[in-house]
Structure formats: C-alpha cells, structure tokens
C-alpha cells in the first residue's frame, strides 16, 4: 500500500496512506527541517507584507515541490503534514468554547449534514451520467463531502476493490489533493469578493473545502474569527465520516467481511476536549496565547509540508471524466455552502 500510494499523500489525517513501520527520529530531520524553514520563511513574508501566514506557507511549500522526489524528505514531511497537523487541530480547541459550537445553532448544523449528503449524491449522479460507476461517484463525492484523502481510503475499504479499483482510488487521491489546494487559495478570495461576514466566510470555507489543513488554513487566511468557525464546521464534517461509513456498510456490505474504522479520530476528540476545558476552566491569558501560537505554527508547518508533497504532475495524462466528478461535487459543495452561509449564518 505505502509504495503504491506514496506519491499521492497529502495531509493524511488518519495515517491510512502510509503503513510503513515507525522510523527513527533522525530520519525525520531532513524533511522536517525543510518544512520548518519554509514555515519560518512564510512567517517572515507574512509579517513583512501583512499577508496570511498559512497562505504564504502553502505558496512557499508549492515552490519547493521539486523536493518531493527526494526519498530522504518523505518521513519528515509526512510527520509535519500528519502529526503536527493533528496536534495543531487539538490546540486550536484552545481558541474556541463549547458555547461557540452550540452557537452555530441547530439549523446551521443541519445545513452541514445536508450539504454533505447533497455533495455525496452529486458525485454519484455525475459519475453515472458520465458512464462511470456509482461506486466511483460515491468515492469521489464522499471524499469531497467529508475530509479528502482520508475519507477516500475509508470509503474505498468499505466499497471493496471489485467496486473501486486501485487506479480509481489513486486518481481520487490525486484529484482531491489538487482540488483542495486550489480551494484554499481561491475560496477566501470568493468570500472577500462577495462581501461575506467573518462568520459567513468561516461557515462557507469550513463546509466546502476538502482537506482539514486547507479548510482551516483558508479560514484563518480570511480572519481569526472566520478560522475558528471554519475549524468547528470542518471538524463537524470529519466527525460525520463514522455515520456515513456505517450507512454504506449497512446498505452496501464490503467484500470479504471487511469494515472501515468507524471511530471518531482522536484529534477530533482532542479538539472538543480542549474546547470543553477552555469553556469551564479559567485559562491564564499567557497560556492561551502560547497554545494559539503553537497551533498556528503547527498548522502552517503542516500546510507547507502539504505543499511540498502535493502531486502537481500526477494529473498529467489522466482522463477528464473522473476529474469532472470531483469538480462537479466540489462545485455543489461550494454553491450550497455559499447559499447556506447567506441564508442561515
């Protein structure tokens, strides 16, 4: 598995794309050092030109994309884009409270669920219209609707290789990585052009962007308040992976008795635990600022590493129909998220 999909890794939250044994800490230094230096450079540029840190981290990471071919970089870049991302998400919980989560309101939470289901359904419908299988549409649409590459792996495990072959899975992993990176850059610009408020922009970005790192990064590139809302909305989508897989497993049993993992990821639980602590325990201001600073650094480093690892050349030579399914599902998610942000948020 790891050799086959190593070139498609991005921000792999569940560590599903890399089943290699743990490496020695010295193996992490080449790639991790590059990611840290890219983050420091992004910090300098962001401070100098008053630009969003995460956006600068992504651009600098993409500029260093040629380094992804160096095998020595892989362990450290993987650590930055997975482990640092997860802990950054946990620490982001120090920025929010349970009151803010509840403050989204039942209608807003219902909108997140409906957008997810509509995006998943759009993937199935467009895939069938283009002569592809409904299973591929479920894979592509579900990946867009929930949490990108990690959802793709979980969905593929549930569907089985007879319904979704390895080539189709690989294409979705590549397409999701490219689409999510593009969304992180363009969606905040759309929000600015439409004059969305911070709360509306945060909902739109959190409800429409594919991968967690890009959704959070896009939110904070708009504003800190938008970043908090985007984080809450996006992690709500991630938590919905478990019930979605359960439904698929119930109505479309996987081959060979296999079942995808249905538990909520630990970093999502950690996020809500930290938010709960922040809601009920008086946290000293200096501790809160430190946690926020570490979270921002971890997230920026994860985004930089994701940019370095992004498979920018992998889409060359592929057919257009599978890509159209991803694009259609992404467009549905964006339009519905925009509509909900204006009408409900």
Tell me, what's the pLDDT at 263?
55
Q: Which residue has the higher pLDDT, 332 or 256?
A: 332
Q: Which residue has the higher pLDDT, 314 or 97?
A: 97
Region 322-332 average pLDDT: 93
Q: Which residue has the higher pLDDT, 1 or 104?
A: 104
Tell me, what's the pLDDT at 179?
87
Q: Is the predicted pLDDT of residue 240 greater than 90, yes or no?
A: no
Tell me, what's the pLDDT at 184?
87
Q: Are 206 and 119 in contact (CB under 8 A)?
A: no
Tell me, what's the pLDDT at 6?
42
**pLDDT digits 0-9 by tens, 245-287:** 778 777 665 455 555 455 566 777 888 888 888 888 877 888 8
Q: What is the pTM of this model?
A: 0.69
Q: Which own/partner pairs from 119-128 qualify as long-range (CB within 8 Å, at least 24 positions apart)?
A: 119/144, 119/145, 119/329, 119/332, 119/333, 119/336, 120/145, 120/244, 120/329, 122/328, 122/329, 122/332, 123/325, 123/326, 123/328, 123/329, 126/324, 126/325, 126/328, 126/329, 127/325
Q: Which of 42-56, 162-176, 329-343 has the highest mean pLDDT?
A: 329-343
The whole-angstrom separation of Cα 227 and Cα 230 is 5
Number of domains in the chain: 1
**pLDDT digits 0-9 by tens, 220-234:** 889 888 988 998 898
What is the pLDDT of the chain when averaged over all its residues? Answer: 81
SS3 letters for 115-143? HHHHHHHHHHHHHHHCCCCHHHHHHHHHH
Burial degree of 191 (CB within 10 A; 0-12, 13-18, 19+): buried
Region 174-191 average pLDDT: 87
Per cent of the chain over pLDDT 70 is 84
Q: Is the predicted pLDDT of residue 237 greater than 90, yes or no?
A: no
Range of the domain at 131: 2-343
Tell me, what's the pLDDT at 4?
44
**pLDDT digits 0-9 by tens, 109-164:** 899 999 999 999 999 999 999 888 888 999 999 999 988 877 887 787 777 767 87
The region of weakest confidence among 40-49, 94-103, 128-137, 333-342 is 94-103
């Amino acid at each position: 598995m790891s050799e086959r999909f190593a070139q498609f890794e991005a921000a792999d939250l569940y560590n599903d794309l890399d089943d290699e044994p743990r490496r020695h800490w010295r193996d992490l230094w080449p790639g991790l050092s590059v990611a840290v230096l890219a983050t420091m450079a992004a910090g300098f540029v962001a401070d100098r030109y008053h630009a969003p840190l995460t956006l600068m981290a992504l651009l600098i990471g993409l500029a260093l994309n040629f380094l992804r071919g160096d095998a020595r970089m892989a362990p450290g870049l993987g650590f930055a884009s997975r482990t640092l991302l997860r802990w950054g998400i946990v620490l982001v919980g120090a920025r929010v409270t349970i009151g803010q989560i509840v403050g989204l309101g039942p209608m807003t939470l219902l909108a997140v669920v409906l957008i997810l289901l509509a995006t998943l359904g759009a993937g199935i419908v467009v895939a069938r219209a283009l002569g592809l299988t409904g299973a591929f549409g479920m894979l592509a649409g579900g990946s867009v609707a929930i949490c990108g590459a990690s959802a793709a792996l979980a969905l593929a495990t549930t569907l089985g290789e007879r319904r979704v072959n390895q080539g189709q899975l690989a294409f979705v992993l590549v397409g999701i990585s490219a689409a999510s990176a593009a969304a992180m850059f363009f969606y905040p610009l759309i929000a600015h052009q439409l004059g969305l408020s911070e709360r509306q922009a945060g909902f739109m970005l959190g409800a429409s962007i594919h991968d967690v790192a890009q959704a959070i990064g896009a939110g904070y590139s708009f504003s800190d308040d938008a970043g908090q809302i985007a984080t809450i909305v996006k992690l709500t989508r991630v938590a919905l992976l478990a019930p979605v897989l359960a439904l698929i497993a119930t109505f479309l049993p996987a081959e060979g008795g296999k079942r995808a993992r249905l538990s909520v990821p630990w970093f999502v639980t950690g996020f809500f635990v930290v938010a709960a602590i922040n809601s009920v325990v008086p946290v000293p201001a200096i501790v809160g600022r430190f946690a926020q600073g570490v979270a921002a650094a971890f997230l920026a480093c994860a985004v930089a590493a994701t940019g370095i690892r992004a498979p920018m050349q992998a889409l060359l030579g592929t057919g257009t129909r599978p890509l159209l399914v991803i694009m259609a599902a992404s467009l549905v998610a964006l339009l519905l998220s925009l509509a909900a942000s204006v009408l409900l948020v």
